[in-house]
Structure 1
Amino acid sequence: MQTELISLDPEKQKKNRNKPNLYRKCQVLTFSATNETNQHMRCPASSTDKHLAVSYHTKRRDVHYLLKPSSSSQTPTNSQPLHDPFETRKHKKMEKKREGGGGGALERTSQIVSDPYYFLHFMAFFSYLPIRASAAPHTSHRLFDRELQAFLAFLMFSAIKMVREETWEAFVADSLLYAKIFLIGVSLVMDYRVGIWFCVIFSVVYLLAQQPAFSKLGTAKKLTPMQLEDLLSDGTTTKYWLIEFYACSSSKCVRSSRCFPELSITYSNSLLSFGTIDLGLFPNAASKFGISLAGGMSQLPTYILYEKGVEVHRFPDFYVDAAPSLPVTKKLLCQHFELDRLLLDYINGS
């Protein structure tokens, strides 16, 4: 027998008191639910509206259900209780949170531990402690004063960058740069050979590892040059396409890697779509889109807006040696490509 289970939770009954077709007056019968036996009893109702009201108690909570036989069945059988919709939504949120990597602090901590770039920097800074412990006694007092001055200066510059920088990647890059400068300066006060040692260490780290970019895409699509050409030539796609051309080996692309995914979440709709192309994987395709990779990839990242397959705007400007004079931010991209106007056009249906 197929059954329809209706919750008899008191709070939900209050909300549905004016819905006589949903709840019927019946006597709730209580029993102890076990794995071996299930007791089913009918409550006194009319012959045309027979319901089975069941309540069972577990160690966690009391659960009440009203079992309504389907029209095609006559005898009740064992049935499974339906999931509470509130519990289901809560469960889905927890699943999404786990898929998204948890909270921001936990995600960043795990990234620092697992990524070679952050791990090597941590080991390099940590190596200062045993070196500092072996310093000569006559230099300890003077060295402590320099360490305190360097630490306070580092906190001041980091606080300024925290306010000015828009992305976590840019803040980390600047903070690590300041920490390296101050550590080398303090090491030179201790012993010039220690300062040279840290210069060598940081040079090796720079050659072996690079700062990771923001890994999520938002609602943007990761495309190849051939896929982009097919989308632009296909008239059934969205009217506008905003494409980001980047390379993971470019420090500018890493610093601004968080801006484009966040913009795609805010402005993506059926009128405007977002896509990304990694020119580090397809360097030969850069010339097709008027992008020069000469000069240390100074033109990257490049953003191009297409309307019905035709380029209408780009940033930076279309010059061989052009480079963004300002750091790439969400505000800059919004103003340059008039994303707010495109969003209003979508809302107005134009």
Structure 2
Amino acid sequence: MSFKNDLKQLFKPYYIFNILLSFSYIVIKRLPIVCNYVFSTNDCEFDGRETEILFFLIIVIALRTRKAGSVTMINYLSSSFTYTKVANLILWFSADFLMGLVFAVIIILGALLLPEPTYSGPDKVIYFRGVQGLDDELARDKKVSWLITFYTAWNPACVNFAPIFAKLSTEYCLDNLKFGKIDIGRHPDAGKKYHVSDSSLSKQLPTVILFQEGKEIIRRPTADSQGKLINFLFSEDNIKAAFGLSGLYEKCKHIPLKNTKPHVD
């Protein structure tokens, strides 16, 4: 996504609202007249506890967004909103319990009324509505290679990866090289069968698996010999390299199928 498109995204209600929430405590605490009224004090400087929380927040955002593979301005913002809102919640509760409750209610209402925008551009992705539909399609014609993304709608890394996967599908999709997605938040049986955790602390989201002849060939992220997940940056170039998409595309292109249409359940 270009910088110009990132700027356009910033003007969407979701981003405006969450940016305001993320800076709410800092701005109000540093505005003299507003600070005096809201906090009933003449001291509008950050105390030691507030400084520690804000410093810790900066460190957490820097580490977590990098691990999530955030490489654009919008990616960084999407990945950091959860941490900034939690930090603000702690600060507001520390300042005044009632203001903390009000801030918590605002967060909940914002999540309900202003969900994060999802990718709505062109794609050639098949969305599976259950593990049975996926399994049936993998078994239906084993000459078809499938690149499947296991994701959840609420995970920022999955949201950030959606336009990349969509672009790859339009570039590489063939009758015998197809792209699919399954929401393991809605269909946890799929996550359980293919060993992809959908917990809020999961480091497996998203997970992309290449299936050939109905069997798993490659997945990212993958685990090392100790069972520890190896960090993987879900960029377009990394996906192409990890799954050998260019070579796979050329191979499938020269072995076309006849009248192959997926059946999605």
Structure 1 gap ranges (5+): 1-102, 144-149
What is the CA deviation profile of residues 116-157 of structure 1, one whole-angstrom value per residue up to 9, with x for unaligned ones?
Answer: x752543564686666133469868x89xxxxxx9xxx9xx9
Residue in 2 that maps onto 1:229: 135
1:119 maps onto 2:17 in alignment: yes
The amino acid that maps onto 1:250 is N
Contact 1:238 1:273 in 2 (8 A): no
Residue in 2 that maps onto 1:201: 103
Contact 1:252 1:300 in 2 (8 A): yes
The two structures have a TM-score, normalised by structure 2, of 0.62
Change (3 A) 1:268 1:127: same
| 2:9 aligned to which of 80, 93, 108 | 108
Q: What is the CA–CA distance in structure 1 between the aligned matches of 2:245 and 2:252, rounded to whole Å?
A: 11
Residue in 2 that maps onto 1:342: 248
Change (3 A) 1:249 1:323: farther
What is the CA deviation profile of residues 285-319 of structure 1, one whole-angstrom value per residue up to 9, with x for unaligned ones?
Answer: 32222334467332221111111222211122268
The amino acid that maps onto 1:264 is S
Answer with 252-261 or 277-286: which moved more: 252-261
Residue in 1 that maps onto 2:232: 326
Change (3 A) 1:227 1:326: same
Q: What is the CA–CA distance in structure 1 between the aligned matches of 2:251 and 2:146, rounded to whole Å?
A: 15
The two structures have a TM-score, normalised by structure 1, of 0.49
| 1:134 aligned to which of 34, 39, 55 | 34
In terms of fraction of residues, the more helix-rich structure is: 2
| 1:214 aligned to which of 113, 118, 140 | 118
Residue in 1 that maps onto 2:75: 170
Contact 2:70 2:79 in 1 (8 A): no
Number of equivalenced pairs:
225
- Deviation of 1:277 after TM superposition, in Å, equals 0.1
Higher relative contact order (CA 8 A, sep 6+): 2
Residue in 2 that maps onto 1:317: 222
The amino acid that maps onto 1:277 is I
- Deviation of 1:344 after TM superposition, in Å, equals 2.3
Q: What is the CA–CA distance in structure 2 between the aligned matches of 1:332 and 1:218, rounded to whole Å?
A: 19
Q: Highest CA radius of gyration, 1 or 2?
A: 1
Residue in 2 that maps onto 1:279: 184
Answer with 168-177 or 248-257: which moved more: 168-177
